[in-house]
Structure formats: C-alpha cells, structure tokens
Chains A and B, each alone.
Chain A
C-alpha cells in the first residue's frame, strides 16, 4: 500500500500507460530488440495478467519469426548444416581404436576372451550363472532376475542365499561355467550388475538403472516374458574406444555363436554417451516389404563403473579402469569413455 502511494506521488505522469505503449512498440517493431529484452526484466509491468499476456505475445512473435527463417532456409539452395549433437562433437582421445593400428588390434585380440572369439577347440559354449546379492531379492528384483535368466541363453538362476561369490566362482570353474552375473539391489530395485568372465576374468561392474519387466512394456501388451529357445542375433553399437571394445567383447561373449536368424530375436547393446541400453526385440515381417520391430523386454540401462583384472575380487583385485569422479574425469561434456 505504502509503496503504491509513493509511486503515484513521485511520478507526475501515470506510469503504466507509458509502459504499455513501449512494450507494444517493441513487440510490433523490432524483433531483435524484443528478443534481447525479457518483459519481466526491463519493462516491469506490475499487473500480472497484463504481463503474462505480453509475454505470451512476445513468445508467439518469436516463434513466428523463427518459422519464417526456417522456411526461408529450406527454400534456399544452401547446403544443409549438420545438426550439432553431443555425439558429433565428441572428442576422440588416443584410446579411440584405429583399424589400421596393428598394435592396438593385437592388444584387443590377445585378451582373456580370445578363446571365445577365435572359436578354439577348448572353448565351450557360454554357460552363465545368474544370481543376486546376498540374502533374498525383493519381488521386483526377483522377477527381473528370472526374466533375465529366460532371455540369456544357457543361463541358470542360482538362489544366492549367503554363499560368498568367490566360493561360487570356484565351484563354477569346476562345472565349466563361463560367466557369472550378479545383480545387486537397492530400495527394492536392481542397481548394480557385475559380470565376471571365467576362468581368467575380466570382471566389470555396471550401474544398472531403468529396469523394466516385459509386462511393464507397452509394446509388449502386458505379455509376460517367454523363455528364449533360439540363439538370438546380437547387435553391439558404438563401442569405439579400447575400453568400449573390451566391454563390447565381454557382452558379446555372453551369447553363443551362430545366431538363428529364423528365430527373429535380436538383443541390442546400444552405447550412447557411455550409457549402454539393453533391448530385446523381435522382427515382425508384415509383408514382403514392410518390417516392424516389437520390443519384448526386459529392458535396462548399464553404465560402466569399473573393470577389474581377473575374476571377482573387489578387495584384492587389480583394477584396470575405475570411474573416478573425484579425479576430474568428467570435466568435458563431449568426452566419453566407451
């Protein structure tokens, strides 16, 4: 009240009409000027309704002018600029794998998973063991684990109870398993995935987020997950750096060779900005020309946390790579590790 009085006392002219005029002028005349000024910042219209009205007008005019510009650009013959996405601006560091670099290729091909990829006689088909963290998983994690066991070929689900992982690995080595998957949970949701390749390693730790069951997927129309009986096709996208290829090779080695394309199942590991998306699809051949994809589920997202040399040994194992936020690894937005 006092303030309003003061205003009216000090100013001889009525202030509000002038403001309105000014704002109108600006919105009508000059697009550039209006774009630089915010209505609330410089004009200070005190009536909220008027202010909102003005702001809406300003926005409309802006979008109109933008549309005009865009149309003009489309009609002109100038070559189209490439959209600037973070992926396009990505910084390629020295670990980016060059296909001509024999030394790096040697390093990649001489890793612990070499037996699987060269299909040596002593390498057996992947045989996985899936288990949870110590104790008993909550219902959602339990369901998720069981779906995962259905999707991944040749997988056994093992009730962890209170067995230590190192002892499980010892037993698995005797029984000829090739990989151990451990899903940890937090607040009733799966949060971490360990993949340990046997018998020599490596062990990778991923953060697991956005886990969805098949039933929860809209495209699946509430159907529950059926056991995958065919060998699926595997797609690994955008694994480019040395660490990326190491992760890609570990993920690929979870699945058997020689996919049965007739089964139409695809499993994708899509890496985008260091997030690895797991998806399970099925081709739908609608007619001879049209093909559609149906997502079957489950789905989840992985983010690499660490790579450890050897089989699972969190305390005494040697780490090849750890994501260390405190060591200023994430300073650039356009820098990625995978």
Chain B
C-alpha cells in the first residue's frame, strides 16, 4: 500500500487526519470511538538508527494515551497510558523503546514500553506549569523544558539515566531571567515553545510576552544572548525552516500572525517575511524536511501550506475541528490527476480537437496556479541530517553578525608565546647575493627590517581593529638564509604574560620585517616576492598550537 498523505494533523475532537497536499485529499487516519472526549495533544516522529523515522509517528492525547501510527499500513496501535494528573506537554522517543515525557505539573520521566503498558523508569521534577518539552534533534542526548514562571532548562539524558545521585546534576543549563526593567520591576517568565538550533544546544525560545530569545549554553551567559519582539500577542509556536539549512525559523502567535525570521540577523530587522492568510491562533507549525513548505495548524480549523520561497499560500485544508498539532512528512505522493490523464491518453489517442484544447488549457492553468505542487514534490526520501551545517564560532562576531571586541577582563594572565614566519623570495641569485652581502643602494636591509619588525609588533593594536593592546615582554626577529633557493625566511617571536595571545603581534612583526626587506631591495628588482606568511607556533592560553 502506498502512502496516501504527507501532512498529519491532530484535532481537539481526537481525530487524526492525513492530508495529501499533491491531490488535495483529506483522509481520516484515526478516529476514536467517541469524539470530543479526548483531544490529540502531541504528534511526534519515531526514531530509527538515531535518525528520524518518517514511517512511524506517535500520538499523545490529552488523557495521556500514547498511540503509535505506522505510515506503511496506516495502522494504529495502543501503546499505553501514562498515569499523570495533568496532560503531557512533550514527548520524545529515545532508542530501545523508551520515551521521555513531561507533564504540565512538571513530572519529567523516562518510560519504557512493555508489552501492555508503559513503566516509568526515572522521574525528575522540572518545575511547575511546563508548557513544552523538546529534545534536541541535532544531538538527541539533550532535552529542554520550559513553562510559565519556569524558564528554560536543558537536561542531559545520560546524566538523568545514570543514577539517583547525578539526577540533580542532569540540568546542564538553567536560563536566568532577564534584568528588571527601567522601573526595577521583575520581568515575568512565560516560555511557550522553543527549538534547538544546533548540536551545541543553542536554543530559540518564544514567550507569552511576545519575545523571541536566543540562549547559548556554551557562552557564560545564562541570560539570553539575543532578544527580539514580535507584535504584541503571545507567540504560540516556533519551527525551524529545514529548507533554509535551519538558518531561518517560523513563529506563529495567538492572532494568527505567522512570520519568518533569520537566526543570523536577530535584530529588529530580522523579520524576513510576514505570511498572510492565517486567521486563527496558530497552535503548531512544522516545515518540510527538504522543501520550502510550511504547514501551520490553527484553531480556525484549517491547515495551511505556505511556500517559503514565494511566500504564497499554496493550499488550505478545512479539517472540521480545532487543531492542536501538525507534522510534515517528506513522503512524496504522485499526482493522481496526471496519472489518470496519462492513462486516458494512452487508451484513446483520438480525442476531438475541443477536448484537447480544454485539457491543454486545464494543464496550463494548473501549472501556473500551483507552481510548487506536482513536480517539486517528486523527490527521493531524504535524510536531512546530512544537511545540518556545522557553524563554527568567531570570537569577534556576534550571533547577529555584528563585530565585537572580546572582553578579556575576566581571564587570568598567563605566559604566552607566538612565532610567525614569512619568506622573501628573490628572483635570481644576483639580487640575493647583493642583499646578502649588503651591496644594496639603501644599506643593510637585514638590520633595518629587524628594527622595523620590532617596531611594527609593538604597534599591532593600532593596526588591527579588534586586537587588544598588550605589554610585550620580548620581540625577536630571526633570519634564516636559504642560499639554494635565493630566499630569506623571516621569523618573528613574540612573548608576553597577559590575558590574551600574541599571535597577531608575531604575524605583523614578520610581515613588516619582510616588507622592509622588499623596500630596501626594490632598487635591485621589483619582482621580489613575499610568501607564506603564517603562524607556526602558539603557546599558552585556551588553545595551543605546537611547533610545526
């Protein structure tokens, strides 16, 4: 049996529906015996071989029933009920038939699936009024929780599993509330949803007070690294836009305003586009794993599909109940009409002119109307984990792209040394010999360049914009003459006892010494080359590069 749908939506009636975005079909996947008794609360993907398994999904209801949906045969299997006094706010499938769940009253637990029910293995307290639990999809050993007056916490699952003693240590990051406002009033905390954006647990949090915050557990700051505001109403949901290499994200608020933002430019101008068409509070957003498509489920009972490239609404589906959650799967579905048309064409080739025209017209209109639908859906099953790009950090660049000087005030002084070298290549042996034997017009190039190099290293902070001033304890310029190759290797050695490294000083010293040799010898030849300026050693501080 082929897969009939690629969007899954859960509603307050308890019915789960599948949507075929290619042929605009809606199918009832799961209907409880009595509707409106138990609402669908969460939809989550399963896991296979540490990657998301798009053939299985889990459905959690408001009364904490957990069901398994298999896409292959659309079968529903009851897994069990979790005994909690309040509904689940997050569910994540770990390996080996284990779930990590969190209920609204803050019971975080890891449950194992046994034959008939779920057995709780480990329980921890995540604090009151939890609104969401999410696992880091880039590094599935971490998860986050957050809620009302309960700021973001990032937990390590490994620590949580070890034993009772380490349970308290399992919170690896606890966000700190932002500073009081100008009249010294405490700012209220209300985390509504969040998303991890990379394997280093950087996390985007949206709040009920219309803020979007970026937390970086790697930095020393427990307060948000960056914060922007969106409109004036609570933001309900956030999703990463996978097709943009996870560099953009989509948020939706209670008024049905949906907007796309750029993570790298988190400032007031970060908004990329404000989508149109949604007219009810957005409960859940999901994006296609590879294509630029966004599905939003709102309580106006529609699932809307927007295209993130053209910013247009592609289609909308009326599902007859208030929606709570949505999942976008990468399954491609063939266009049924096209197939039928093909069949028709092969069977009776002789069609009257009028019919040909009408079909032609229909095709034209169809192609022009939904550019994204038929052809763009036809792709192969794709593991989007490969697409996650590793973003290295620059110490001088903030997360929103501005430049900054690193604050080294809190660092301890330590002895540091750096060696840089540069090669001055003479075009022939004549010029080299005249340099070596000091028969140049200007005089002793080596002596002059040595002094120039020392002077330059002392003034590095004047030349390099974000470089710190530092007291150099020693500067030395060495020369290594290579007679066979007609070249001179200039080496600059700088050392200090300070809070930051001296590699820039060494590089500048070596460079200027080499340039001075060129200046002294330029009367002999204009084609002297300076090559291979590089750092060869750095000792001391956070990172050391030993001598090559």
Q: How far is the CA of A101 from the CA of B236 in the complex (A)?
A: 31
Q: Which of A94, A242, A319 contacts B255 (CB 8 A)?
A: A319
Find chain B residues with CB under 8 A from A321 CB.
279-280, 300
**A103 touching B279 by the CB < 8 A rule?**
no
A293 at the interface (CB under 8 A from B): no
Residue interface bits A102-137, CB-to-B below 8 A is 1, else 0: 011011001000000000000000000000000000
Q: Which of B35, B299, B318, B321 contacts A309 (CB 8 A)?
A: B299
A315 at the interface (CB under 8 A from B): yes
Q: Which of A95, A322, A329 contacts B280 (CB 8 A)?
A: A322
The A interface is mostly helix, strand or loop, or mixed, namely: mixed
The B interface is mostly helix, strand or loop, or mixed, namely: loop
What's the nearest-Cβ distance from chain A to residue B444, in Å? 77
A317 at the interface (CB under 8 A from B): yes
Find chain B residues with CB under 8 A from A316 CB.
208, 233-234, 254
Q: Which of B35, B277, B281 contacts A327 (CB 8 A)?
A: B277
**B276 touching A328 by the CB < 8 A rule?**
yes
**B281 touching A318 by the CB < 8 A rule?**
yes
B36 at the interface (CB under 8 A from A): yes
Find chain B residues with CB under 8 A from A319 CB.
254-256, 280-281, 299
A84 at the interface (CB under 8 A from B): no
Task: Give the residue name and chain of the A residue nearest to B275 (CB).
Answer: A327
Q: How far is the CA of A35 from the CA of B525 in the complex (A)?
A: 94
Taking CB atoms and an 8 Å cut-off, the chain A residues in 284-338 that contact chain B are: 309, 315-324, 326-329
Find chain B residues with CB under 8 A from A318 CB.
236, 254, 281, 299
**B255 touching A106 by the CB < 8 A rule?**
no
Residue interface bits A73-116, CB-to-B below 8 A is 1, else 0: 00000000000000000000011000001011011001000000
Find chain A residues with CB under 8 A from B36 CB.
106-107, 110
Task: Give the residue name and chain of the A residue nearest to B316 (CB).
Answer: A94
**A320 touching B322 by the CB < 8 A rule?**
yes
**B35 touching A106 by the CB < 8 A rule?**
yes
**A107 touching B321 by the CB < 8 A rule?**
yes
Find chain A residues with CB under 8 A from B281 CB.
309, 318-320
Taking CB atoms and an 8 Å cut-off, the chain B residues in 1-31 that contact chain A are: 13, 15
Find chain B residues with CB under 8 A from A326 CB.
276
Taking CB atoms and an 8 Å cut-off, the chain B residues in 206-257 that contact chain A are: 208, 232-234, 236, 254-256
B526 at the interface (CB under 8 A from A): no
Q: How far is the CA of A296 from the CA of B201 in the complex (A)?
A: 68
B320 at the interface (CB under 8 A from A): yes
Find chain A residues with CB under 8 A from B234 CB.
316
B131 at the interface (CB under 8 A from A): no
What's the nearest-Cβ distance from chain A to residue B315, in Å? 12
B284 at the interface (CB under 8 A from A): no
B301 at the interface (CB under 8 A from A): yes
Find chain A residues with CB under 8 A from B301 CB.
95, 107, 242
Task: Give the residue name and chain of the A residue nearest to B321 (CB).
Answer: A107
Task: Give the residue name and chain of the A residue nearest to B234 (CB).
Answer: A316
Taking CB atoms and an 8 Å cut-off, the chain B residues in 288-302 that contact chain A are: 299-301
**A103 touching B320 by the CB < 8 A rule?**
yes
What's the nearest-Cβ distance from chain A to residue B233, in Å? 7
A103-B254 contact given A309-B281, A320-B280, CB 8 Å threshold: no
**B208 touching A95 by the CB < 8 A rule?**
no
Task: Give the residue name and chain of the B residue nearest to A104 (CB).
Answer: B320
Q: How far is the CA of A319 from the CA of B279 in the complex (A)?
A: 8
What's the nearest-Cβ distance from chain A to residue B484, in Å? 76
What's the nearest-Cβ distance from chain A to residue B10, in Å? 15
What's the nearest-Cβ distance from chain A to residue B298, in Å? 9
What's the nearest-Cβ distance from chain A to residue B236, in Å? 8
Task: Give the residue name and chain of the B residue nearest to A93 (CB).
Answer: B318
A315-B232 contact given A320-B299, A320-B322, CB 8 Å threshold: yes
Find chain A residues with CB under 8 A from B254 CB.
316-319
Q: How far is the CA of A103 from the CA of B11 in the complex (A)?
A: 12
Q: How far is the CA of A318 from the CA of B15 in the complex (A)?
A: 21
Q: How far is the CA of A333 from the CA of B480 in the complex (A)?
A: 87
Find chain B residues with CB under 8 A from A317 CB.
254
Find chain B residues with CB under 8 A from A328 CB.
276-277
What's the nearest-Cβ distance from chain A to residue B24, in Å? 11
In this complex, which of A94, A319, A323 has the most chain B Cβ atoms within 10 angstroms of its Cβ?
A319
Q: Could you list some 25 contacts between A and B, CB below 8 A?
A: A94-B318, A103-B13, A103-B320, A103-B321, A106-B35, A107-B13, A107-B36, A107-B320, A107-B321, A309-B281, A309-B299, A316-B208, A316-B233, A316-B254, A318-B236, A319-B280, A319-B299, A321-B279, A321-B280, A322-B256, A324-B279, A326-B276, A327-B276, A328-B276, A329-B279
Starting from the known contacts A110-B13, A316-B254, 18 additional A-B residue pairs (CB-CB under 8 Å) come to: A95-B301, A95-B318, A103-B15, A103-B320, A103-B321, A106-B13, A107-B321, A110-B36, A242-B301, A316-B208, A316-B233, A318-B299, A319-B256, A319-B280, A320-B300, A322-B279, A323-B279, A328-B277
Which 9 pairs, one residue from A and one from B, show the smallest C-beta to C-beta distance? A318-B281, A110-B36, A94-B318, A318-B254, A327-B276, A103-B320, A320-B280, A107-B321, A320-B299
